[in-house]
């Protein structure tokens, strides 16, 4: 899991701030939340859906929904956790509508393939097995691994986006490492996780 996606690979439309016309009408907190999370949500949705248009549609739907329930969302124990659950739910609905599983394995593999040279092709075949194993992780482990290792966010950012503590992120990384090492037949050495 050393190599992660580069900044541009899952950034199909870049940062998209709330337009200046709407910024004066929308709640300030919502505009700030949108500005802070839009890009990350878009990268995550693109990794799951494999399509720029589907990712943009889903993320637009997520922020539209959040705006509709913004006052209630602010009362949640964790706004970030609530918003993350909304994103996951919208991605799952879109996948169900499309009648297919998450595209993470293919999307991540093809992104790695674009970066690779010929002598690294054998390594990519091994990565395909890793991506398939990641796809089978429990939800929280899966999200943490995608955000931290494939999309390159640090543990603090992953925790804030998911509404969990950095310690919980590290715990999910350890759990995911154990599961992945069992599935892939590799030795797991505690302390080798990202951020330690």
How far is 113 from 91, CA to CA, in rounded Å? 25
Contact present, 37 and 60 (Cβ < 8 Å): no
- For residue 41, what pLDDT band results from cuts at 50, 70 and 90? very high
Res. 175: pLDDT tops 50: yes
Please provide the average confidence, as pLDDT, over all residues in the chain.
80
Q: Give the start-to-end residue ranges of the domains of the chain.
A: 118-184
The confidence score (pLDDT) of residue 196 equals 42
pLDDT digits (tens, 9 = 90+) for 80-99: 999 999 999 999 999 999 88
Contact present, 144 and 162 (Cβ < 8 Å): yes
Q: What is the distance of C-alpha 172 from the center of its chain?
A: 14
Domain 118-184 falls under CATH 1.10.260.40 = no
pTM (2 d.p.): 0.70
């Amino acid at each position: 899991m050393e190599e992660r996606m580069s900044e541009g690979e899952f950034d199909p439309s870049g940062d998209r701030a709330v337009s200046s016309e709407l910024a004066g009408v929308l709640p300030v907190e919502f505009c700030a939340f949108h500005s802070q999370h839009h890009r990350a949500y878009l990268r995550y949705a693109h990794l799951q859906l494999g399509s720029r248009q589907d990712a943009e549609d889903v993320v637009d739907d997520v922020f539209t929904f959040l705006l509709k329930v913004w006052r209630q969302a602010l009362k949640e124990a964790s706004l970030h956790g609530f918003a993350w659950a909304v994103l996951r739910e919208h991605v799952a609905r879109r996948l169900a509508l499309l009648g297919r599983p998450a595209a993470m394995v293919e999307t991540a593999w093809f992104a790695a393939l674009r970066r690779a040279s010929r002598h690294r092709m054998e390594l990519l075949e091994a990565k395909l097995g890793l991506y398939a194993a990641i796809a089978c992780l429990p939800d929280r482990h899966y999200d943490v691994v995608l955000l931290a290792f494939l999309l390159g966010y640090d543990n603090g950012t992953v925790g804030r986006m998911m509404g969990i503590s950095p310690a919980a992120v590290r715990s999910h990384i350890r759990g995911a490492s154990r599961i992945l090492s069992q599935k892939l037949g590799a030795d797991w050495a505690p302390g080798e996780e990202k951020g330690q």
